[in-house]
């Protein structure tokens, strides 16, 4: 049995060294690739990251952060008027803005609006648009 045991030990160490030798350069190469991809991104691409597949317009998230006061309440309202949406946009845009706009608080009665193709007539009051793009995204405030 000792031969079996020692054979097992040799097999373990051999396998570890062999696969380690093969995959070590690959791991370093993967790290290099990841590092170069990350550094080639713009600051905003890196900061928005996962949101790039959701928000459709990066400028909108920065405008929202610039326009909505830190202590204000806001809501993200979606609708059918949005152009160029991804399949993730309508499902996740609310939760992504919740993460990005902190410490601003989302609230169903928020006076500040992040409108993603929303029906402005259903917002509950006169809506003053402060920023908008051509895709149907706007940021503004209810009077």
Partner 1 sequence: MNAHAIAGLVALNLLLLAVGVSILFALRGWASWGQLLRLSGVAYLLGVAATGVVWTFELVVGIPFGFPAIIGTGAILALLAVPVGYRLGHRLPRLPRLRVKPELPRLSLVSAVFAALTVVYLEGAFRAARLAGLYEFDAWAFWVPKAKAIYYFGGFDQQFFRELINQAYPPLVPVLEAAAFYFMGAPDVVTLHLQFWFLLVGFVGAVVGLLSGRVSPVFVWPPLLLMLVAPHVGGHFYHPTADFLLDEFFAVAALLIALWLIDRKDWQLVAAGLLLAAAMSTKREGYAFAASAIVAALVVTTRERRSAWPKLIAIGLAAAATTVPWRVLLAVRHLGGGGPEAGGTGLFSNLDRAWPSLRLALSTVFDYHLWLVVTPLAVVAIVAAFAAGARTLPLYTTLVYVFAVIAFTYSTWAFPSLGISKKPALNPIVRLSGEVVLLTPALVPLLLARAWRRAPQPVGDT
**Can you give the binding site for partner 1, defined by CB under 8 A?**
1-2, 4-9, 11-13, 15-17, 19-20, 23-24, 26-28, 30-32, 34-35, 38-39, 41, 45-51, 95-96, 98-99, 102-103, 105-106
CB of 26 or CB of 122, closer to partner 1: 26
CB of 53 or CB of 79, closer to partner 1: 53
Query: Smallest gap, in angstroms, from Cβ of residue 121 to partner 1?
Result: 27
Query: Smallest gap, in angstroms, from Cβ of residue 69 to partner 1?
Result: 14
Query: Smallest gap, in angstroms, from Cβ of residue 67 to partner 1?
Result: 19
Query: Smallest gap, in angstroms, from Cβ of residue 10 to partner 1?
Result: 9
Nearest to 44 by CA among 61, 31, 64: 61
What phi and psi values does residue 102 have, to the nearest 5 degrees? Answer: -50, 140
Whether the ω angle into residue 74 lies within 30 degrees of 0, i.e. cis, is no
Nearest-angstrom CA–CA distance, 78 and 93? 9
Nearest-angstrom CA–CA distance, 88 and 122? 23
């Amino acid at each position: 049995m000792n031969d079996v045991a020692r054979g097992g030990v040799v097999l373990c160490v051999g396998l570890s060294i062999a696969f380690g030798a093969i995959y070590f350069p690959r791991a370093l190469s993967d790290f290099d690739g990841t590092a170069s991809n990350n550094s080639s991104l713009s600051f905003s691409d890196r900061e928005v990251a996962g949101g790039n597949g959701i928000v459709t317009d990066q400028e909108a998230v920065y405008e929202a952060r610039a326009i909505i006061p830190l202590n204000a309440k806001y809501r993200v309202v979606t609708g059918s008027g949005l152009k160029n949406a991804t399949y993730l946009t309508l499902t996740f845009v609310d939760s992504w803005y919740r993460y990005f706009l902190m410490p601003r608080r989302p609230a169903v009665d928020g006076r500040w609006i992040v409108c993603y193709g929303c029906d402005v007539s259903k917002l509950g009051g006169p809506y003053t648009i402060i920023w908008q793009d051509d895709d149907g995204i706007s940021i503004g405030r209810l009077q």
